[in-house]
Every structure is written in C-alpha cells, then in structure tokens.
Chain A
Amino acid sequence: MRRPAARDRAQRARRLTALLLALAPLALGACANIKPWERDVLAREEMAFDPDPLEAARRNHVYFSKEASLPGGSAGGGGCGCN
C-alpha cells in the first residue's frame, strides 16, 4: 500500500515542477511590463546592481581573502535598457 502512494507523490511533484518551469517565463512576464520610455528611475545610477564596479570588485576581493565564500553575482538587466 505504501510504495504506490509514494511513487504517485513523487510523480506529481515532478509534474508540478515541470509545469512551474514551463510557466515561469510567462509568470515573469506578468510581473510588470515597464515600457522602454518609463525607465527613468531604473536608469538612475543608484539603481544599478553595481553602481561602482571598482568598489564592488575591491570589496569582493577583500572579503574573498578573509572568508571562505565565493563572491557570486554578475548581474545584467535593470537600468535604462538603452541601446
């Protein structure tokens, strides 16, 4: 009685994950669609993921030498969306 139920659950979980993955791009699209000419705030320097790339690089380097973790990151997107 137990084994078939567990298998069913596992299968349902897989199907749900697949469905979520398939819908994810649509879901993100539904988040907000800001028009290209409405990006005045996003274009501001303080809205960048790394407003000062040199400082970000230096900080990551210092923390990386004093701690065990990797910096991670590398963000594109956001901003003015120009060009």
Chain B
Amino acid sequence: MNKLIVLSLTALLIGAAPSLALEEGARAPSFSAPRLDGPGTISLSNYRGKVVLVDFWASWCAPCLVSLPLYEELRKELPAGEFEVLAVNLDKEPGKALRFLKERGVGFPSVADPKGRIPETFGLETMPTSYLIDRNGRVRHVHTGFRRGDIDGLRDKAKALIAEKAK
C-alpha cells in the first residue's frame, strides 16, 4: 500500500510527458491555410529559402498581443528578402483578431486556423509559441510563451539563421 502511494506521488511529480512536441532539427510540418486578412491561401512552403518565424497566436492570449508589434519591428529591422513572419491565428471568430492586426498596423501575413489543425501537427503545448524555421524548412528554435525581453534573443537567433546559406 505504501508502495502504491509512493508510486502515485512520483507519477504526479513527473507529470504527463509531452506527446508530439516538435524538436529542434525536425522538419517543420507543411501546412496551408486561408489568409485571415484577405482572400487566398498561404502555404509554409511559399517561404522555403527564407528564414521564417511561425507564430501561433489568438486575441484572447495577452502575451500574444504583446509579441505581435514586437515581431513587426523585428521584421522591419531584418532584410526583407531573407526573413518573414507568418502568424497563424487560432481565434474561433476571426473578427477580433483582424481588428487587433489593423489597430496595431501589423504588416506580416496571418492565416486563420479556427479549428486548430496546424498547432496540432506542431505539437503546440502552450500559447503563444513561435517556431524559427531555417531556409531548408527545419525547425531550429521553439519559443514557448512570450515576455517583453524575449525579442532580443529571437533577433540574435534569426540573424544567425539568416547568415546560414540555404543548402
């Protein structure tokens, strides 16, 4: 009986193991989704050859809203042909998301995935999460959560990936 208690407590402490969270070095799952801010579809494969920051966000996620304007600044800083931000919006109703993007003057493309198929394939574990993908379509950095100072680390990593040539 004591063993049972010890076992259950240990299980509790270890917690549920993450299932299919993407690991760094893995190929980014391909996806394509309708644009949030206009007609047409965007695929991740459109950006092969560039460094991409895929960011999963929603209007109800406070740190997501902090990160978006900062990603816009980052995008303006880095050379246009080399780096892009692709946002995947997970709002069930895209209205609020669109309004936020317009208010903040965010210029990078955003796609709508209200059913959450794309974050499922990425094994997303927390909101927000952004994935830095290199020119060859491999995930090189998974950034979970977002706090104001995080943009600096992301900028350095993005610059390093830009410096790498495509293979």
Do any CB atoms of chain A lie under 8 A from CB atoms of chain B in the complex?
Answer: yes
B12 with A25: CB separation less than 8 A: yes
- A83 nearest in chain B by CB position: B145
B56 with A18: CB separation less than 8 A: no
Number of inter-chain CB pairs below 8 Å: 66
Interface of A is mostly: helix
Give A15-41 interface residues, CB cut-off 8 Å to B. 15, 18-19, 21-25, 29, 35-40
Q: Give the Cβ gap from A83 to chain B, nearest Cβ, in Å.
A: 4
B64 with A82: CB separation less than 8 A: yes
Residues of A within 8 A of B146 (CB): 83
Residues of B within 8 A of A18 (CB): 1, 4-5
A83 with B58: CB separation less than 8 A: no
B61 is contacted by which of A15, A21, A24, A82 (Cβ under 8 Å)?
A: A82
Determine if A44 is an interface residue (Cβ-Cβ < 8 Å).
yes
- Given A37-B56, A37-B124, the answer on whether A80 and B62 have CB atoms closer than 8 Å is yes
Q: Give the Cβ gap from B9 to chain A, nearest Cβ, in Å.
A: 8
Determine if A71 is an interface residue (Cβ-Cβ < 8 Å).
no
Determine if B137 is an interface residue (Cβ-Cβ < 8 Å).
no
Please tell me which stretch of B47-55, B79-87, B125-133, B156-164 contacts chain A, meaning at least 4 of its Cβ atoms lie within 8 angstroms of it: B125-133
- B11 nearest in chain A by CB position: A25
Determine if B91 is an interface residue (Cβ-Cβ < 8 Å).
yes
A21 is contacted by which of B8, B90, B91 (Cβ under 8 Å)?
A: B8
Distance, CA A35 to CA B122, complexed state (A): 12
Residues of A within 8 A of B61 (CB): 43, 80, 82
